């Protein structure tokens, strides 16, 4: 159990302490979210989706914590991510690659115990061929396209694979998966159509466990859950509908410091393109976070930060390293250089900020820049 000991961590600071904006990642809350989700979907299991560096939060750290809380299944996007993660997790945990293998990657994945999600007949054939060099049948996940029209085996190829898999002793299908296109819209007709198609396809693969739901899918009817949920954003505190349940908690706080405070008279331009002009004398604060840190430029005219629960609207365009906010609502002297304001936190959720930017929580989270000082608690 030496391995578990290695995950007993202390709050550490990663990435350039002294930065003007910082991201705090609440590891304890992440673990609680995992436990609550696991409880909610029982008897289905929860696999953690840790692609894109665990949505920017640090895949190695996040995966190790979730493993310590009982998670044994981890999904990443490509082989590079899988190989990077392998040494952080014990051999007996499963790492699956959503995009499957690219030609030539088979052996390094086999040697590292990485499991491909097979999306095409070619991937299947390449894997089966490579697997012949090994004694035991090698596990794969089979992804079928049940209606999303993205990755996955086409419906017409299913009988081919099904016939072939019966005769292919070098390969063992351990999971049949598909992905929902509209899970975040519970009444979208495509959800039921995909469920029906998945059931039809599952008929070709008796006794193989099924995975259909991502985070949002876990909160559709129970029939969508199958045997394994693939949860990403729910674990990281993104918006999910929990009818009658306490919502999953936020896992990050994003704060940035005040750099300069000043009052501009009426009729003065603020920021690039002189896109905002003051209508009256206005007290403004320049805050040290910008689009290089992951604040989309589409927040122009809509976004805000908070100080002690008071909304401070962004004015002018988002710059690379800074934003300007209107602080007229605050008593003068409330802020001074170095004061931290809330960008994501108690008063403004990840989903709120994403909504103002016209995007989804996933895009905000994965876009948070490497320049941010990161603190794990």
Ligand X SMILES: *Cc1c(COP(=O)(O)O)cnc(C)c1O
Nearer to ligand X, 220 or 340 (CB): 220
Residue 346 catalytic? no
Does 152 contact ligand X by CB under 6 A? no
Nearer to ligand X, 22 or 26 (CB): 26
In the complex, the smallest distance separating the C-beta of residue 187 from ligand X, rounded to whole angstroms, is 18
In the complex, the smallest distance separating the C-beta of residue 150 from ligand X, rounded to whole angstroms, is 8
Does 105 contact ligand X by CB under 6 A? no
- Listed as own residue / partner, the contacts of 157-163 with beta carbons closer than 8 Å and 24 or more positions apart are 157/121, 158/201, 158/204, 159/204, 160/121, 161/121, 161/124, 161/204, 162/204, 162/205
In the complex, the smallest distance separating the C-beta of residue 70 from ligand X, rounded to whole angstroms, is 18
Site for ligand X (CB under 6 A): which residue of 231, 299, 312, 357?
A: 231
Does 232 contact ligand X by CB under 6 A? yes
Q: 105: which strand partners?
A: none
Does 230 contact ligand X by CB under 6 A? yes
Q: Say if CB 106 and CB 154 are below 8 A apart.
A: no
Strand residue runs (E) in the chain: 12-14, 21-25, 45-49, 73-76, 94-97, 114-118, 138-143, 171-177, 210-211, 228-231, 252-264, 269-270, 276-277, 282-287, 304-307, 310-315, 323-326, 340-344, 373-376
Residues in 30-69 at the binding interface with ligand X, rule: CB under 6 A = 49, 51
Site for ligand X (CB under 6 A): which residue of 24, 194, 215, 322?
A: 215
In the complex, the smallest distance separating the C-beta of residue 43 from ligand X, rounded to whole angstroms, is 19
Cβ atoms < 10 Å from Cβ of 83: 18
Cβ atoms < 10 Å from Cβ of 256: 26
Measured between alpha carbons, how far apart are the two ends of the chain, in Å?
A: 23
Residues in 336-375 at the binding interface with ligand X, rule: CB under 6 A = 362
Residue 134 catalytic? no
Size of the site for ligand X (CB under 6 A): 13
Catalytic residue among 34, 51, 291, 306: 51
In the complex, the smallest distance separating the C-beta of residue 295 from ligand X, rounded to whole angstroms, is 21
Site for ligand X (CB under 6 A): which residue of 179, 225, 250, 317?
A: 179
How far is CA 316 from each of CA 270, 287, 322, rounded to the nearest angstrom?
5, 12, 11
How far is CA 354 from each of CA 136, 232, 276, 295, 372, rounded to the nearest angstrom?
47, 16, 22, 9, 18
Does 233 contact ligand X by CB under 6 A? yes
The span of 197-205, 228-236, 273-281, 365-373 binding ligand X (CB under 6 A) equals 228-236
Q: Which residues carry out catalysis?
A: 51, 272
Q: By the criterion CB under 6 A, which residues form the site for ligand X?
A: 49, 51, 98, 179, 214-216, 230-234, 362
């Amino acid at each position: 159990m030496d391995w578990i000991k290695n995950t007993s961590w202390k709050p550490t600071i990663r990435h350039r302490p002294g930065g003007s904006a910082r991201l705090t990642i609440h590891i304890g809350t992440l673990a609680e979210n995992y436990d609550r989700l696991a409880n909610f979907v029982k008897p289905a299991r929860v696999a953690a989706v840790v692609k894109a560096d665990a949505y920017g939060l640090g895949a190695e750290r996040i995966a190790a914590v979730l493993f310590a809380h009982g998670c044994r299944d981890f999904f990443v996007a490509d082989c590079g991510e899988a190989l990077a993660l392998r040494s952080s997790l014990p051999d007996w945990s499963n790492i699956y690659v959503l995009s499957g293998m690219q030609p030539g990657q088979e052996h390094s994945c086999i040697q590292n115990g990485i499991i491909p999600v097979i999306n095409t007949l070619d991937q299947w054939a390449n894997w089966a061929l490579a697997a012949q060099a090994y004694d035991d049948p090698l596990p794969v996940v089979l992804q079928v396209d049940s209606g999303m029209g993205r990755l996955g085996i086409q419906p017409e190829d299913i009988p081919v694979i099904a016939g072939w898999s019966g005769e292919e002793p070098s390969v063992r299908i351990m999971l049949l998966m598909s992905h929902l296109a509209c899970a975040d819209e519970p009444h979208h007709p495509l959800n039921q159509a995909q469920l029906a198609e998945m059931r039809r396809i599952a008929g070709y693969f008796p006794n193989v466990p099924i995975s259909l739901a991502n985070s949002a899918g876990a909160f559709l009817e129970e029939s969508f859950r199958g045997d394994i949920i693939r949860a990403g954003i729910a674990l990281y505190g993104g918006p999910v509908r929990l009818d009658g349940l306490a919502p999953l908690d936020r896992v990050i706080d994003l704060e940035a410091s005040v750099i300069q405070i000043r009052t501009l008279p009426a009729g003065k331009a603020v920021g690039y393109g002189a896109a905002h002009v003051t209508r009256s004398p206005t007290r403004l604060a320049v805050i040290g976070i910008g689009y290089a840190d992951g604040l989309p430029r589409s927040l122009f005219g809509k976004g805000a930060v908070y100080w002690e629960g008071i909304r401070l609207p962004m004015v002018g365009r988002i710059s690379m390293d800074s934003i300007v906010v209107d602080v007229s609502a605050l008593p003068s002297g409330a802020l001074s250089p170095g004061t931290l304001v809330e960008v994501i936190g108690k008063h403004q959720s990840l989903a709120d900020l994403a909504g103002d930017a016209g995007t989804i929580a996933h895009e905000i989270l994965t876009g948070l820049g490497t320049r941010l000082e990161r603190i794990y608690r």
